[in-house]
Amino acid sequence: MTDIKCRKKGCNETVVELHHLVPKYCGGTDTDGRRYLCKKHHDILHNLYSSMVFRFVPDEKRERLRETIKTFALRWIEE
């Protein structure tokens, strides 16, 4: 059996959570993609989205923001 590790580059944590690249509270779905992340990195992404980005964006611009969030998450995980 293969251990699942956090997908954040450089992290070897094996206690992981399944993270939606676009969080569900931002309108994300399974089709947006998911990655396994440790609690620390999972929480970092969710705190960034909710406190710094999503809650301040008007409703009419949130669809476009979802794609930006997905792109950001993928890039951040690979850094």
Domain ranges of the chain: 16-78
Q: Is the pTM of this model over 0.85?
A: no
pLDDT tens digits, one per residue of 49-78: 776 777 788 989 888 888 888 898 999 999
Question: Cα(35)–Cα(14) distance, rounded to whole angstroms?
Answer: 13
34: left (phi over 0), alpha (psi -120 to 50) or beta: beta
Copy the structure tokens of residue 74: 């993928």
